[in-house]
């Protein structure tokens, strides 16, 4: 069985049905992950879970240590990640409490977010034309169908900077670009997962229309929390179906994503960098 990682977004701090649960503290060369990682087994499939914002939602999007989170997942043997994320809708037909499994991203995050492992003496360029691993996206969509939940397959996730939400002008700009949903967290994860040769897919849970929509001014915090709670309960059920199916996969599309991508002369890579990235580049530098 493959090991499946789950990164939980707003409101999702546990996975139902996991047995043999253990909390694992992982030290990484990039600092501390968002929280302790939780390992366990779901219907025979090894699972690693991490709350993106930490227990109690104490880490803002810009402050998330994505390199540490993905490195820790890799260290614990994760081969594919399902990322749960709360998003706003940029299209009328994508309604609150719907799910979206996007296939594309646009990056509008600030440079201070670290989105690569390859710095300080080593350079690598991975392909990211198709940032989502279709085999995982298909499983998520099929799980939604099985549960009779409204899900939209494919679409573009605009990854904005936070923690503030968009201005109306920004929201309308992103709509003019053809974007479908807007969030603050998933593209840095997708980039780093690809570098770490971990297949990655997003299950985006729509909490509201972004501020372009006429109803935005009448949306209350209580309404958003209510929609979020519904999404979280549905997401837990989706994961119970999707994780065992993903665990049966023999090989994932990102498994060799780094092949021929390291540009630096292997003899010139600093020893410390080789040590820090051993779990990611080890098979290419021996």
Catalytic amino acids? 208, 210
Residue whose C-alpha is closest to residue 13's, from 179, 217, 164, 228: 228
| Token pair of 43 as six digits | 């219907």
Alpha helix positions (H), the chain: 66-75, 134-146, 168-176, 186-195, 221-247, 271-276, 278-285
End-to-end CA distance of the chain: 27
Angle between helices 186-195 and 66-75 in degrees, nearest 10: 40
Tokens 């087994």 locate to 41
H/E run at residue 269? none
Q: What DSSP character marks residue 43?
A: T
Distance, in Å, from the CA atom of 74 to the CA atom of 79, rounded to the nearest integer, reads: 7
């Amino acid at each position: 069985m493959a090991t499946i990682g789950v990164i939980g977004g707003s409101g999702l701090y546990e996975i139902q049905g996991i047995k043999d649960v253990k909390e694992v503290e992982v030290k990484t060369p990039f600092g501390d992950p968002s929280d302790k990682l939780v390992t366990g087994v779901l219907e025979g499939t090894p699972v690693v879970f991490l709350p993106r914002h930490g227990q109690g939602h104490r880490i803002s999007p810009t402050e998330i240590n994505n390199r540490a989170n993905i490195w820790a997942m890799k260290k614990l043997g994760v081969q594919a990640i399902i990322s749960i994320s709360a998003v706003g809708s940029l299209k009328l037909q994508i309604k609150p409490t719907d799910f979206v499994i996007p296939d594309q991203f646009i990056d509008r995050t600030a440079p201070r977010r670290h989105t690569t492992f390859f710095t300080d003496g080593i350079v690598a360029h991975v392909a990211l034309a198709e940032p989502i691993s279709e085999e995982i996206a298909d499983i998520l969509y099929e799980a939604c169908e099985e549960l009779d939940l409204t899900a939209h397959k494919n679409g573009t996730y605009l990854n904005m900077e936070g923690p503030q939400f968009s201005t109306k002008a920004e929201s309308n700009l992103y709509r003019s670009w053809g974007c479908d949903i807007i969030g603050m967290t998933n593209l840095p994860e997708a980039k780093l997962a690809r570098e770490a040769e971990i297949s990655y897919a997003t299950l985006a849970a729509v909490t509201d229309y972004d501020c372009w929509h006429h109803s935005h001014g009448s949306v209350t915090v209580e309404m958003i929390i209510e929609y979020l709670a519904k999404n979280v309960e549905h997401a837990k059920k989706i994961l119970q179906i999707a994780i065992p199916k993903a665990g049966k996969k023999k090989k994932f599309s990102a498994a060799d994503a780094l092949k021929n991508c390291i540009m630096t002369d292997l003899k010139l890579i600093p020893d410390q960098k080789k040590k820090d990235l051993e779990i990611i580049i080890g098979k290419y530098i021996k």
